Amino acid sequence: MSRASGDVRNLHHLRRRRQCGSPPQADAPAHAPRRRSSHQDEGEIEMTVTVEQRPPTPSGPPKLSREELLRAQRETLDTPRMDYSLLARLMFKPVDLMYGKEGSYTKFAMLEIIARVPYQAWERIGYLLVHRHAGRSALARRVFERIVEARADQDNEQWHLLILQDLVQRTGQRQSWLPHKVAPWLIAFFYYHVSWLLFLLRPDWSYRLNAEFEDHAEHEYMTFVAEHPELELVPDPGTYAAEYGRYRSVADLLRQIGHDERTHKLDSLESMREPRVR
Ligand SMILES: [Fe+2]
Ligand SMILES: [Fe+2]
């Protein structure tokens, strides 16, 4: 935990360094031209649409070069895992029992199904809070910024899931109904309700639980790559290259996913410092 806290200090502004959507064109007109409808032609209504500068939309953690990916893997492997809580261990244990202690594409795909859940819970509660604080626009805006971040992290986890499912299909691994459909749904159901309940009672505990989950995922990916050097020779199939980037090998693709998990962890640890939006 102490090392993780150090990471937070070092990467305190990581959230703000994330890649953002394209900024508005500098020469774009701040005010859209007035358009007259057929009704307006009849002299009834005239509307003006004003487009202020939009806030940038986070598009996920930064994509790393090969050297950066190798360095990120070394950093992860040199960093002790967080001290996992009982709740986290209650989720990790059945996963290890069902899918094996060793990493595999099917196990990672299962973990990615669960990984989206806290972000969905936070997003849902965020909308309730926006509604509740509708009369305080500055506060509602800050809550909405958290919602936007939660959605971006959900999308990032969804890409992980799609990539892992693609690797499962390409390597011809079987996914049976009970361990790969029913069990993930049950664990996700449990995790979702724990996440929102914790968030209502102690939001810092909810963020902490997610940080532990992300720390676990980061170490699982980086360890898996270290234990499977043959993946350096397997080209990245690039199925989702347009959306996620293309890497030299499956090893680098998994390192990038591992680094994304670290980014999620650091974001949650940072949110713990100010768990309630004020
Ligand atoms: Fe993930
Ligand atoms: Fe994650």
CA of 159 to the centre of ligand 1 (A): 8
Q: Is-contact 148 57, C-beta < 8 A? A: yes
Of how many residues is the chain composed?
A: 278
Distance of alpha carbon 225 from alpha carbon 43, whole angstroms: 68
pLDDT at 174: 86
3-state secondary structure of 62: coil
Weakest mean pLDDT among 126-140, 238-252, 261-275: 126-140
Q: Which ligand has the nearest atom to the CA of 110?
A: 1
CA of 257 to the centre of ligand 1 (A): 6
Q: Which ligand has the nearest atom to the CA of 159?
A: 1
Q: Which ligand has the nearest atom to the CA of 113?
A: 1
Average pLDDT value for residue range 143-171: 94
Q: Is the pLDDT of residue 47 over 80?
A: no
Say how many Å lie between the first and final Cα of the chain, rounded: 26
Q: Is the pLDDT of residue 52 over 70?
A: no
pLDDT at 88: 94
Q: Which ligand has the nearest atom to the CA of 160?
A: 1
Distance of alpha carbon 243 from alpha carbon 236, whole angstroms: 14
pLDDT at 138: 81
CA of 152 to the centre of ligand 1 (A): 12
Q: Which ligand has the nearest atom to the CA of 157?
A: 1
Distance of alpha carbon 100 from alpha carbon 95, whole angstroms: 7
Whole-prediction pTM value?
0.80
3-state secondary structure of 238: coil
Grade residue 44 by pLDDT with cuts at 50, 70 and 90. Answer: low
Tokens (6 digits) for 16: 């703000």
Spatial neighbors of 242 by CB under 8 A, at least 6 apart, are: none
Exposed, middle or buried, 258 (CB in 10 Å: 0-12/13-18/19+)? buried
Q: Which ligand has the nearest atom to the CA of 221?
A: 1
Neighbours of ion ligand 2 (CB under 5 A): 115, 214, 261, 264
- Locate the domains of the chain by residue range: 64-271
Q: Which ligand has the nearest atom to the CA of 162?
A: 1
Q: Considering only CA atoms, which of 227, 231, 208, 219 is closest in space to residue 258?
A: 219
CA of 25 to the centre of ligand 2 (A): 32
The conformational region for residue 58 under phi > 0 = left, psi -120 to 50 = alpha, else beta, is beta
pLDDT at 157: 97
Give the amino acid at 79. T
Grade residue 55 by pLDDT with cuts at 50, 70 and 90. Answer: low
Average pLDDT value for residue range 72-95: 95
CA of 14 to the centre of ligand 1 (A): 18
Spatial neighbors of 147 by CB under 8 A, at least 6 apart, are: 122, 123, 126, 127, 130
CA of 262 to the centre of ligand 2 (A): 7
Q: Is-contact 66 248, C-beta < 8 A? A: yes
CA of 52 to the centre of ligand 1 (A): 34
Q: Which ligand has the nearest atom to the CA of 263?
A: 2
Mean pLDDT of the chain: 83
pLDDT at 141: 85
CA of 180 to the centre of ligand 2 (A): 19
The yes or no reply on domain 64-271 and CATH 1.20.1260.140 is: yes
